[in-house]
Amino acid sequence: MAVRIRSRFHAAQRSRTAAELASVVAQLAWKLARESIRRMREAQFDIDPGPAYFDFVCEALAFHALVADRIAYRQLAPARRAEFTRALALRLADLVEDNADMLLAEPAPGTCRRRFLELFNTAGEEYGAYGYGADGPDFGFRRCFAARLGRVLPAKDRPWVHDQAMEIEAPTAVAAIEKTLAGLLAQR
Protein backbone atom coordinates (compact mmCIF):
# COMPACT_ATOMS: atom_id res chain seq x y z
CA MET A 1 0.00 0.00 0.00
CA ALA A 2 1.49 3.33 -1.02
CA VAL A 3 1.42 6.35 1.25
CA ARG A 4 -0.09 9.42 -0.35
CA ILE A 5 2.40 12.27 -0.22
CA ARG A 6 1.32 15.88 -0.08
CA SER A 7 4.15 17.95 -1.53
CA ARG A 8 2.47 21.26 -2.22
CA PHE A 9 -0.25 23.51 -0.91
CA HIS A 10 -3.22 24.10 -3.18
CA ALA A 11 -3.25 27.86 -2.69
CA ALA A 12 0.34 28.92 -3.30
CA GLN A 13 -0.23 32.66 -3.00
CA ARG A 14 0.90 33.11 0.59
CA SER A 15 3.84 32.09 2.70
CA ARG A 16 3.15 29.22 5.10
CA THR A 17 3.89 29.32 8.79
CA ALA A 18 6.26 26.86 10.37
CA ALA A 19 3.28 25.30 12.13
CA GLU A 20 1.48 24.74 8.82
CA LEU A 21 4.55 23.08 7.32
CA ALA A 22 5.00 21.01 10.46
CA SER A 23 1.39 19.87 10.39
CA VAL A 24 1.75 18.48 6.86
CA VAL A 25 5.02 16.71 7.73
CA ALA A 26 3.53 15.33 10.96
CA GLN A 27 0.61 13.77 9.08
CA LEU A 28 3.03 12.23 6.61
CA ALA A 29 5.24 10.93 9.45
CA TRP A 30 2.22 9.33 11.11
CA LYS A 31 1.25 7.57 7.86
CA LEU A 32 4.84 6.45 7.29
CA ALA A 33 5.08 5.01 10.82
CA ARG A 34 1.86 3.04 10.38
CA GLU A 35 2.99 1.78 6.96
CA SER A 36 6.36 0.80 8.43
CA ILE A 37 4.64 -1.34 11.06
CA ARG A 38 2.62 -3.02 8.32
CA ARG A 39 5.78 -3.85 6.37
CA MET A 40 7.59 -5.04 9.49
CA ARG A 41 4.69 -7.35 10.36
CA GLU A 42 4.69 -8.72 6.80
CA ALA A 43 8.41 -9.43 7.29
CA GLN A 44 7.46 -11.51 10.38
CA PHE A 45 8.54 -9.02 13.06
CA ASP A 46 6.43 -9.25 16.21
CA ILE A 47 4.99 -5.82 16.89
CA ASP A 48 1.98 -6.50 19.05
CA PRO A 49 -0.70 -3.94 19.89
CA GLY A 50 0.02 -2.19 23.16
CA PRO A 51 3.36 -0.97 24.49
CA ALA A 52 5.42 -2.52 21.67
CA TYR A 53 3.27 -0.82 19.05
CA PHE A 54 3.41 2.49 20.93
CA ASP A 55 7.19 2.35 21.31
CA PHE A 56 7.71 1.47 17.65
CA VAL A 57 5.48 4.31 16.46
CA CYS A 58 7.25 6.80 18.72
CA GLU A 59 10.71 5.72 17.55
CA ALA A 60 9.65 5.95 13.91
CA LEU A 61 8.09 9.38 14.45
CA ALA A 62 11.21 10.67 16.19
CA PHE A 63 13.34 9.45 13.27
CA HIS A 64 11.00 11.10 10.76
CA ALA A 65 11.04 14.38 12.69
CA LEU A 66 14.81 14.40 12.90
CA VAL A 67 15.10 13.66 9.19
CA ALA A 68 12.77 16.61 8.52
CA ASP A 69 14.90 18.76 10.82
CA ARG A 70 18.05 17.92 8.84
CA ILE A 71 16.30 18.77 5.58
CA ALA A 72 15.10 22.04 7.09
CA TYR A 73 18.69 22.75 8.13
CA ARG A 74 19.69 22.76 4.46
CA GLN A 75 16.85 25.01 3.32
CA LEU A 76 15.68 27.29 6.13
CA ALA A 77 17.21 30.10 8.13
CA PRO A 78 18.22 28.95 11.64
CA ALA A 79 15.34 30.67 13.44
CA ARG A 80 12.74 29.35 10.98
CA ARG A 81 14.25 25.86 11.19
CA ALA A 82 14.06 25.92 15.00
CA GLU A 83 10.45 27.11 14.82
CA PHE A 84 9.60 24.36 12.30
CA THR A 85 11.28 21.57 14.30
CA ARG A 86 9.65 22.68 17.55
CA ALA A 87 6.22 22.85 15.88
CA LEU A 88 6.79 19.43 14.31
CA ALA A 89 7.77 17.78 17.59
CA LEU A 90 4.76 19.30 19.35
CA ARG A 91 2.37 18.29 16.55
CA LEU A 92 3.70 14.72 16.60
CA ALA A 93 3.33 14.66 20.39
CA ASP A 94 -0.28 15.75 19.95
CA LEU A 95 -0.87 13.00 17.37
CA VAL A 96 0.58 10.41 19.75
CA GLU A 97 -1.60 11.73 22.58
CA ASP A 98 -4.72 11.84 20.39
CA ASN A 99 -4.17 8.23 19.33
CA ALA A 100 -3.05 6.93 22.73
CA ASP A 101 -6.15 4.80 23.09
CA MET A 102 -5.11 2.95 19.93
CA LEU A 103 -1.56 2.56 21.19
CA LEU A 104 -2.05 1.91 24.90
CA ALA A 105 -4.93 1.03 27.15
CA GLU A 106 -6.26 4.26 28.67
CA PRO A 107 -3.11 6.15 29.66
CA ALA A 108 -3.35 9.14 31.98
CA PRO A 109 -3.96 12.39 30.05
CA GLY A 110 -0.74 13.97 28.83
CA THR A 111 1.40 10.91 29.60
CA CYS A 112 1.93 9.84 25.98
CA ARG A 113 2.65 13.40 24.89
CA ARG A 114 5.34 13.80 27.55
CA ARG A 115 6.83 10.39 26.76
CA PHE A 116 7.10 11.23 23.08
CA LEU A 117 8.75 14.61 23.71
CA GLU A 118 11.26 12.99 26.09
CA LEU A 119 12.01 10.31 23.48
CA PHE A 120 12.34 12.96 20.75
CA ASN A 121 14.88 14.92 22.80
CA THR A 122 16.89 11.80 23.66
CA ALA A 123 16.82 10.61 20.05
CA GLY A 124 17.94 14.04 18.88
CA GLU A 125 21.05 13.78 21.02
CA GLU A 126 21.86 10.32 19.62
CA TYR A 127 21.20 11.17 15.97
CA GLY A 128 23.12 14.42 16.40
CA ALA A 129 26.39 12.49 16.31
CA TYR A 130 25.76 11.45 12.69
CA GLY A 131 25.67 13.21 9.36
CA TYR A 132 22.94 13.96 6.90
CA GLY A 133 24.09 15.16 3.50
CA ALA A 134 22.63 15.76 0.08
CA ASP A 135 22.26 11.98 -0.31
CA GLY A 136 20.34 11.66 2.94
CA PRO A 137 21.32 10.13 6.27
CA ASP A 138 24.76 8.60 6.56
CA PHE A 139 25.35 5.01 7.63
CA GLY A 140 25.60 5.96 11.31
CA PHE A 141 22.30 7.85 11.23
CA ARG A 142 20.50 4.86 9.69
CA ARG A 143 22.26 2.44 12.04
CA CYS A 144 21.19 4.53 15.02
CA PHE A 145 17.59 4.26 13.80
CA ALA A 146 17.90 0.48 13.52
CA ALA A 147 19.47 0.21 16.98
CA ARG A 148 16.74 2.34 18.53
CA LEU A 149 14.05 0.20 16.87
CA GLY A 150 15.85 -2.92 18.09
CA ARG A 151 15.43 -1.76 21.68
CA VAL A 152 11.65 -1.89 21.37
CA LEU A 153 11.37 -5.21 19.53
CA PRO A 154 11.36 -8.67 21.10
CA ALA A 155 14.80 -10.30 21.50
CA LYS A 156 14.10 -12.80 18.70
CA ASP A 157 13.69 -9.93 16.17
CA ARG A 158 16.71 -7.84 17.15
CA PRO A 159 19.28 -9.62 14.96
CA TRP A 160 17.23 -8.88 11.84
CA VAL A 161 15.99 -5.35 12.48
CA HIS A 162 19.14 -3.68 11.15
CA ASP A 163 18.66 -5.03 7.63
CA GLN A 164 14.97 -4.09 7.52
CA ALA A 165 15.39 -0.65 9.10
CA MET A 166 18.51 0.41 7.22
CA GLU A 167 17.63 -0.97 3.79
CA ILE A 168 13.85 -0.57 3.63
CA GLU A 169 12.29 1.55 6.39
CA ALA A 170 14.79 4.42 6.52
CA PRO A 171 15.15 4.93 2.75
CA THR A 172 11.38 4.77 2.22
CA ALA A 173 10.71 7.37 4.91
CA VAL A 174 13.58 9.63 3.87
CA ALA A 175 12.47 9.66 0.22
CA ALA A 176 8.90 10.60 1.17
CA ILE A 177 9.95 13.33 3.60
CA GLU A 178 12.53 14.74 1.16
CA LYS A 179 9.91 14.89 -1.60
CA THR A 180 7.31 16.51 0.63
CA LEU A 181 9.61 19.16 2.04
CA ALA A 182 11.14 19.91 -1.37
CA GLY A 183 7.70 20.71 -2.70
CA LEU A 184 6.45 22.57 0.35
CA LEU A 185 9.57 24.66 0.83
CA ALA A 186 9.75 25.54 -2.86
CA GLN A 187 6.37 27.27 -2.49
CA ARG A 188 7.30 29.49 0.45
**Ranges of each domain in the chain:** 18-186
Closest to 69 in 3D by CA, of 17, 144, 6, 124: 124
Q: Pairing mode, if any, of strands 136-137 and 132-133?
A: antiparallel
* Length in residues, the chain: 188
* Sign of the dihedral defined by the CA atoms of residues 109, 112, 117, 118, in that order: positive
In sign, the C-alpha dihedral spanning 23, 175, 30, 86 is negative
* DSSP 3-state percent helix, strand, coil across the chain (nearest 5): 75, 0, 25
- Radius of gyration for the chain, computed over Cα atoms and rounded to the nearest angstrom: 16
pLDDT at residue 153, as a whole number: 93
User: Are 25 and 68 contacting, i.e. CB atoms less than 8 angstroms apart?
Assistant: yes
Predicted local distance difference test score (pLDDT) of residue 53: 87
pLDDT of residue 114: 93
pLDDT recorded at residue 48: 83
What integer pLDDT is reported at residue 121 of this predicted model? 97
Q: What is the pLDDT, as a whole number, of residue 1?
A: 47
Write down the pLDDT at residue 145: 98
- pLDDT at position 118 is 97
pLDDT of 173: 97
Low-confidence ranges of the chain (pLDDT < 50): 1, 3, 7, 10
